[in-house]
Chain A
Amino acid sequence: MASAPSKLYSDDVSLVVVLLDTNPFFWSSSSLSFSQFLTHLNQVVVIATGYNSCDYVYDSSSTGNQSVGNGRMPSLCATLLQNLEEFMNKDEQLGKQEPEGRIACSLLSGSLSMALCYIQRVFRSGLLHPQPRILCLQGSPDGPEQYVAIMNAIFSAQRSMVPIDSCYLGAQNSAFLQQASYITGGVHHKPQQLDGLFQYLLTIFGTDLHSRNFLQLPKPVGVDFRASCFCHKNTIDMGYICSVCLSIYCKHLKKCSTCGSVFGQAQTQSDEPSATNRKRKTTDA
């Protein structure tokens, strides 16, 4: 039997009417209890990526959250919203300075690292552990000072086989998130219409990893793996790499500005790449 076709002249927004059987005679005699009917087996952990700090906001498997209050679904959302509000208040207290000019970045590397530590704990919990994946809902732009930390987190996720999905809501493109999803085998998408965000989340990011084999999810297009030179921050096709500290330059130099090695002679004394120079490492365009 063919499925019903959609009418061409109706709006793109859908309406689903759910008819829920609440016949008490059936539920009292059924093996599945009504409160179980409304809960779910999947686990959700929410970590907030703030401006000054990151913290866990909600964990569906902790015992405090499993008691459903009056048996009503909204109690789960209420806990989440309450914790989120507490986190935002604490985050604001930690630092009052406003960045001048463009929108500042959030601490994505911190929350990625915390998520990976939690996932390692899940791996340790036994043979039949839930299949973990990470979803980043991000609107802030990339912060170049976080490049090394984010790449470390991406490689660690790739090794543990944890896909990183990313839904980018900001204006520009996020090169970090595109690379993260490409390297770990996740899905990256930038929704065109933010009004329909719930639908994007449900259809693209809500599916589990087994089902992704036979779903047509957005493919990675145009992931740019070129590097930027340290001197001008331009994206380059061909460059020169210092053999000691792997800094990238677009033209030939006599001395490396990051580690101080003189090129072409056997060095006797060279400084170590100092921690302040780390912040000059840049991202891809």
Chain B
Amino acid sequence: MTNSERKRLNGEAEEEEEDEDDNLNGGLEAWERSYADDRSWEALQEDESGFLRPIDNSAFYHAQYRRRLRDRSLVATTARIQKGLIRYLYIVIDLSRAAAEMDFRPSRMAVVAKQVEAFVREFFDQNPLSQIGLVTVKDGVANCLTDLGGSPESHIKALMGKLGCSGDSSLQNALDLVQGLLSQIPSYGHREVLILYSALSTCDPGDIMETIQKCKESKIRCSVIGLSAEMFICKHLCQDTGGSYSVALDESHFKELIMEHAPPPPAIAEFAIANLIKMGFPQRAGEGSISICSCHKEVKVGVGYTCPRCKARVCELPTDCRICGLQLVSSPHLARSYHHLFPIAPFDEVTPLCLNDPRNRSRSTCFGCQQSLLSSGNKPGLYVACPKCKKHFCLECDIYIHESLHNCPGCESLRHSNPIVANEG
């Protein structure tokens, strides 16, 4: 037999084997099936010399973050600079049969519940004086799950207990209920509704346009996050009341969209009447003092705070005193909101000049973390500079400073030029 004949025989045999395998496995080998979902090769790209390297995510995240910052500052300059710091927010969760769909894994309902829990914690972290309430829509009827309150644990516990989905969804019933509940809050608070809508239809008993008009007159800001597709009625509702409408593409996008509602939105000045709110600043109860706390009705030793007006004992702050109704806060709670009022300016991107210049040698490290600003091969990488103090920072410090720290280390490390500031007031 010649080589070609032998090869032909072998080739045919291989083809026959492959045909059998293909028919059994539906076109995929066993080892291939484990890679069907996880395509790690897509995270690689070629650089200029032809070598493979992972996609540079840091520059991508930084570009994303800068876009977010720009959008936020754009909105702030066009609207009033004031932000609504005392917010009363209702979260409406759609528990109709569309929420049981599995296009978000494991189901839309599970993803919504998990993100609402994270959102509630983040919300109270950024807005300690605000309150949240939960409303569910199931079988065409809207029910109030929890009343407006300032304790994250009670909301999360209530939410995790009631996660069954069935029936239709009703936008009008939810809005009617929320509007009735929000009419009872004080006039200095900002009223908001966040609707997490999975369904593509709504089953309403009357004219929803009237309800939307009533919401507009009550100055309630309604926002919707859709999980399936864009709907005209949601868009109209949000446009009329001044809220924002967005549709989530997948789980991580949904998380991003819901977290955008945690910082206070730019307040429209006419919506809330400015007022002086009477608040108490309780002191810690003395170590070893024994008393019955007014929230749990149990005997507690040592820990706790004493209401300055009626001397009742409360366990945690911020809260409303159960006996006399005084709102009790501590000064760090107020301080948590100050960075919303005094934001720092976004840093400017700096075109990479020659950093090997001896004049610039001191500037080749990030001022915050002392990381070298030169990328591999001694080439200058991407970095930013503060417009006020002109110090250089790396990209990660930029994101950390604007998202979490809210202080520019460079500006804080400079003595202010006018010394009379310290003695003013």
Interface residues of A (CB under 8 A from B): 51-56, 59, 94-95, 97, 99, 104-105, 107, 109-111, 113-114, 116-118, 120-121, 124, 143-149, 151-156, 159-160, 179, 183, 221-227, 230, 233, 236-246, 248-249, 252-253, 256, 259, 261-270, 272-273, 275, 278-282, 284
* CB <8 Å contact, A261 and B409: no
CA distance A180 to B409 in the complex (A): 18
* CB <8 Å contact, B370 and A263: no
* CB <8 Å contact, B274 and A244: yes
Q: Which residues of A contact B326 (CB under 8 A)?
A: 238
| The one of B81, B189, B283 that contacts A224, using a Cβ cutoff of 8 Å | B283
Chain B contacts with A in 316-366, Cβ cutoff 8 A: 326, 330-332, 334-339, 341-342, 366
| The one of A97, A118, A246 that contacts B338, using a Cβ cutoff of 8 Å | A246
CA distance A51 to B415 in the complex (A): 7
* CB <8 Å contact, B370 and A59: yes
* CB <8 Å contact, A226 and B415: no
Q: Is residue B86 within 8 Å, beta carbon to beta carbon, of the partner chain? A: yes
Q: Is residue B201 within 8 Å, beta carbon to beta carbon, of the partner chain? A: no
A109 to chain B, nearest CB (A): 4
| The one of A118, A120, A265 that contacts B273, using a Cβ cutoff of 8 Å | A265
Look across to chain B and name the residue whose beta carbon is closest to the beta carbon of A284: B331
Q: Which residues of B contact A104 (CB under 8 A)?
A: 422
Q: Which residues of A contact B330 (CB under 8 A)?
A: 225-226
CA distance A43 to B335 in the complex (A): 33
CA distance A225 to B370 in the complex (A): 35
Q: Is residue B377 within 8 Å, beta carbon to beta carbon, of the partner chain? A: no
B372 to chain A, nearest CB (A): 11
| The one of A147, A155, A280 that contacts B336, using a Cβ cutoff of 8 Å | A155
| The one of B129, B273, B336 that contacts A264, using a Cβ cutoff of 8 Å | B273
| The one of B281, B284, B424 that contacts A236, using a Cβ cutoff of 8 Å | B281
* CB <8 Å contact, B278 and A151: no
Interface string of B282-323 (1 = CB under 8 A from A): 111001000000000000000000001100000000000000
* CB <8 Å contact, B341 and A153: no
* CB <8 Å contact, B269 and A267: yes
A107 to chain B, nearest CB (A): 6
Q: Is residue B209 within 8 Å, beta carbon to beta carbon, of the partner chain? A: no
Look across to chain A and name the residue whose beta carbon is closest to the beta carbon of B186: A243
Q: Which residues of B contact A269 (CB under 8 A)?
A: 269
Q: Is residue B97 within 8 Å, beta carbon to beta carbon, of the partner chain? A: no
B366 to chain A, nearest CB (A): 8
CA distance A177 to B308 in the complex (A): 25
A55 to chain B, nearest CB (A): 8
Q: Is residue B368 within 8 Å, beta carbon to beta carbon, of the partner chain? A: yes
Q: Which residues of A contact B409 (CB under 8 A)?
A: 54, 110, 113-114, 117
CA distance A135 to B63 in the complex (A): 35
Q: At the interface, is chain B mostly helix, strand, loop or mixed? A: loop
B83 to chain A, nearest CB (A): 9
Looking at A94, A116, A241, A269, the one whose CB has the most chain B CB atoms below 10 A away is: A241
CA distance A146 to B419 in the complex (A): 13
> Can you list 15 contacts pairing A with B, beta carbon distance less than 8 Å?
A53-B414, A113-B407, A117-B369, A121-B396, A145-B416, A146-B412, A227-B281, A230-B425, A241-B279, A243-B272, A243-B275, A243-B276, A246-B337, A272-B82, A273-B342
CA distance A251 to B83 in the complex (A): 24
Q: Which residues of B contact A278 (CB under 8 A)?
A: 342
Q: Is residue B421 within 8 Å, beta carbon to beta carbon, of the partner chain? A: yes
CA distance A105 to B274 in the complex (A): 36
Q: Which residues of A contact B424 (CB under 8 A)?
A: 279-280
> Known pairs A148-B335, A149-B412, A253-B276. 5 more at Cβ < 8 A?
A113-B405, A117-B369, A120-B397, A159-B404, A246-B338
Asked if A109 meets B407 with Cβ closer than 8 Å, knowing A94-B415, A118-B370, A264-B273, the reply is: yes
Q: Which residues of A contact B282 (CB under 8 A)?
A: 237
CA distance A54 to B397 in the complex (A): 17
Q: Is residue B24 within 8 Å, beta carbon to beta carbon, of the partner chain? A: no
CA distance A52 to B273 in the complex (A): 43
* CB <8 Å contact, B422 and A114: no
| The one of A107, A225, A245, A272 that contacts B284, using a Cβ cutoff of 8 Å | A225
CA distance A156 to B339 in the complex (A): 12
* CB <8 Å contact, B331 and A227: yes
* CB <8 Å contact, B274 and A52: no
CA distance A114 to B367 in the complex (A): 8
CA distance A108 to B399 in the complex (A): 22
* CB <8 Å contact, B335 and A117: no
CA distance A264 to B272 in the complex (A): 10
Look across to chain B and name the residue whose beta carbon is closest to the beta carbon of A278: B342
CA distance A173 to B395 in the complex (A): 38
Chain B contacts with A in 101-122, Cβ cutoff 8 A: none
Look across to chain B and name the residue whose beta carbon is closest to the beta carbon of A98: B419
Q: Is residue B188 within 8 Å, beta carbon to beta carbon, of the partner chain? A: yes
* CB <8 Å contact, A238 and B280: yes
Asked if A238 meets B309 with Cβ closer than 8 Å, knowing A52-B414, A120-B396, the reply is: yes
Q: Which residues of B contact A224 (CB under 8 A)?
A: 283
Q: Is residue B413 within 8 Å, beta carbon to beta carbon, of the partner chain? A: yes
Q: Is residue B212 within 8 Å, beta carbon to beta carbon, of the partner chain? A: no
A95 to chain B, nearest CB (A): 6
* CB <8 Å contact, B278 and A240: yes
Q: Which residues of B contact A280 (CB under 8 A)?
A: 424-425
* CB <8 Å contact, A145 and B276: no
| The one of B272, B284, B422 that contacts A143, using a Cβ cutoff of 8 Å | B422
Asked if A272 meets B368 with Cβ closer than 8 Å, knowing A239-B281, A252-B276, A264-B275, the reply is: no
* CB <8 Å contact, A241 and B334: yes
* CB <8 Å contact, B369 and A246: no
| The one of B281, B287, B332 that contacts A183, using a Cβ cutoff of 8 Å | B332
Look across to chain A and name the residue whose beta carbon is closest to the beta carbon of B400: A120
* CB <8 Å contact, B276 and A99: no
Q: Which residues of B contact A272 (CB under 8 A)?
A: 80-82
